[in-house]
Every structure is written in structure tokens, then in C-alpha cells.
Amino acid sequence: MSTEPCRFDDAITRAARARDWTAELRDHLQACPECRATVALVEQLGTLAAATAAAAPPPPSPHTLWLRAEYARRARVRARLDRLRTAAGLAAPLLAVVGFTAFRGAEGWARLVQAAALPSPQLAAVAVLGLAMTAWVMQVGRAN
């Protein structure tokens, strides 16, 4: 067996890739097993290349890329607003208690307790703390 390729090797390869055969190349192919192997190889490579191209996902469209970026931006804004809402939810009951105490003082609390007909200031304090805890738990639950 010769180590030199057939003299038609290049022409046969081009014809097999382009699927454009001359009568001379077709006649040679009948007589040359080496060139038939070359044609088989070119056809297998073509099949493999087509399968690879079909398996690869197409690149995303610019519209899809824009939508992804917009979704990520909105998620960041939403996360920032959630943190702000959580902080406000935690601070609001405390500010309400501090503000009421500052403007109405202990007598204000006593009047509030009487108006609410609660039996004792201690119970009123527990009720306020309970409300504050409830607001805090609801706020934390909403943030998650």
C-alpha cells in the first residue's frame, strides 16, 4: 500500500463536500477504494457537524437579553424596597411608643389605660409590646 494519497484526493474531497461530481471523478470513485473511504469520511464529518449545530442552542435574542437585564434590575429594586419596609416595620411600633410617651407622658398612658378599660398599666404595657411583636413578626414574614 502506498503512503502517497491518491492524486484525485483533493478533487474528490472538494466534490464530496460540495456534492458536485464530474463524470471523471465519478468514474475514478468506482475504481479507487481509497477515494471511496475519503468520501465516506467527508459524509460522516458533515453529518456530525450538522448534528452539533442542531444540538447547540441558538444565542439569545437582544430582546431576551434586555428582558433578563430588566428582570435582574427590578429584582434588585424590589430587594432594596423590602429591606426598607422591614426596617420601617421594625421601627414603627417602637417610634409609636416613644412618641406617645414623649407627648403624653406617664399620665397619657394612664388615661389611655382607663379609656381602654384595661385593669392595669402593666397589662397595657404587655398589650403594647404584644402589638409591637405582632407587627414585627408580620413584617419579617412579609420580607421573606
Residues between 34 and 53 with contacts to Zn ion, criterion CB under 5 A? 35
Stretch that binds Zn ion, among 31-39, 46-54, 82-90, 91-99 (CB under 5 A): 31-39
Spatial distance between the Cα atoms of 131 and 123, rounded to a whole number of angstroms:
12
Shortest spacing between CB 34 and Zn ion, in angstroms: 5
Spatial distance between the Cα atoms of 40 and 14, rounded to a whole number of angstroms:
13
DSSP string, 74-94: HHHHHHHHHHHHHHHHHHHHH
Enter the C-alpha cell of residue 46: 458533515
Output 44 or 114, the one with its CB closest to Zn ion: 44
Residues between 96 and 125 with contacts to Zn ion, criterion CB under 5 A? none
Residue 136 touching Zn ion (CB under 5 A): no
Residue 11 touching Zn ion (CB under 5 A): no
